[in-house]
Amino acid sequence: MTTPSNKTPRGSLFTMMALEFFIWGAWLPLIFGYLPSLGFSPGQQSLILNAFPVASIVGMFFSNQWADRKFIPEKFLAFSHLVGGLAILGCGFTKEFLPFFLLMLVHCLLYVPTISITNSIAFANMKDPEKEFGIVRMGGTIGWILAAWPFTFIFVNWDAVQAANPAGLVDWLGAALAHPLTGDAAKAATKWTFIVAGLASLTLAAFSLTLPRTAQKPVTAGVEKLAWLEALRLLKHPFVLVLWLVTLVDSFVHNCYFNWTGVFLGTAKEAGGVGIPSNWITPVMSIGQIAEILTMFVLGATLKKFGWRTTMIVGILGHAARFAVYAFFPQSAAMIIVVQVLHGICYAFFFATVYIFVDAYFPKDIRTSAQGLFNLQILGLGALLANSICPWLLQSVYTVKAVTDFHGLFLVPLIVASIAAVALALFFHPPKAATAGTGAAGGPH
């Protein structure tokens, strides 16, 4: 424990998580449709989208090492969000490829390591991580939701609302929701997602300085000085290697969702999509995060009852089920909207469980790097694969004469997720005894 109080500072940690994921949630869902509207080629789009996973790879070998062995985490968090916030803010004011790419790269290089760092700060200040992490991490879920809903009003055709001359608040609200921006106007308004993200990042930079002080972790004699190298050596344990590889596959599937869902929801029905109005796309996608809140509440109990493997398998199969609905019921807006609730199971039962697993099994002095080892897959290589393949599959393989074969497109992640679930069931066998925060008996130390 690193704070003078015997109580977990849940309020501060919760707010930290909320701001952390508000930033990402503000710009990510709509960037996939925004980049083509700027005239960027598929190759240029992939370069911009891959700034995030590349930053995850760099963070594994550089930023997380500092966080584990060199820096005070809270100060690193403040610096990263100050500079990274200014960078993402700049993305809202340029339409040229090179400056947009460079600003996004700077933002991602500084933002991505903070995901591991916020996890480490949270775990360092918890009394019972298995019980408390789900509640604290729920702050990130709420932050993502809060990032989505303001755009319901940003993406409004205010000229049409004014022309309707609504009388009273209720009529005004109805007119606003009934007149979304469309076409080029909706795409142009997407610049506000980057401005909002930048302002949130600057806010977190200031808030980071108020977080509980986390002590630096001394390197004991005989311990590898490179934390990331020690973390990599843990892959010699079969159960760690299997989970690491399955995490790569699940990350690919997860990023297929982000690459394609916004486009799928916004595409007109006659072109094969769902036909959701532009100002409702991010709120519809945020339903998954609302469901994630409920899932986080039961995550601790689920882990105790069903164990690591079963919980993770259910999380992976959530992806398969969601893409099955996408593939076989693309014209049913109601089903597409309802199935968003599976996002809670997909995230909490796999990715959040992986983070808790790392804290339970891995040595204290390399935990940020151990989190980074799995973020290398979750935010790095898996996203890199998806961001390189998904634009090509969507725009060149499954779209012919402006009509997309969403059925064939969504069968790809459906099949891949199913294979990953089977692999985890057959080959992931962690040691039986593990105490959160102390390492596992028979596991890596």
Looking at residue 439, what is its pLDDT? Answer: 37
Looking at residue 229, what is its pLDDT? Answer: 75
Domain that holds residue 85: 10-216+225-440
- What length is written for the chain? 445
Is 263 domain-assigned?
yes
* Range 194-207 burial, b when 16+ CB lie within 10 A, else e: bbbbbebbbebbeb
Instruction: Give the number of domains in the chain.
Output: 1
Looking at residue 440, what is its pLDDT? Answer: 33
- Cα 233 vs. chain centroid, distance in angstroms? 26
State the greatest distance between any 2 C-alpha atoms of the chain, in Å, as a whole number. 74
Is 107 domain-assigned?
yes
- Which residues of the chain, if any, have pLDDT below 70? 1-8, 59-71, 130, 214-228, 364-369, 433-445
User: What span, in angstroms and rounded, lies between the C-alpha atoms of 91 and 51?
Assistant: 13
Is 5 domain-assigned?
no
Looking at residue 443, what is its pLDDT? Answer: 32
Looking at residue 135, what is its pLDDT? Answer: 79
Is 411 domain-assigned?
yes
pLDDT in tens, 5-51: 456 687 889 999 999 999 998 998 888 878 988 989 888 998 998 89
Looking at residue 60, what is its pLDDT? Answer: 65
Is 240 domain-assigned?
yes
73 Cβ contact list (under 8 Å, min separation 6)? 67, 117, 120, 121, 124, 214, 368
Looking at residue 145, what is its pLDDT? Answer: 82
Is 404 domain-assigned?
yes
Is 365 domain-assigned?
yes
Looking at residue 245, what is its pLDDT? Answer: 96
Structure tokens belonging to residue 276: 């959701």
Is 233 domain-assigned?
yes
- Cα–Cα distances in angstroms (integers) from residue 316 to residues 21, 60, 304, 343, 378, in the given order: 22, 24, 19, 10, 13
CATH of the domain at 368: 1.20.1250.20
User: What span, in angstroms and rounded, lies between the C-alpha atoms of 340 and 227?
Assistant: 38
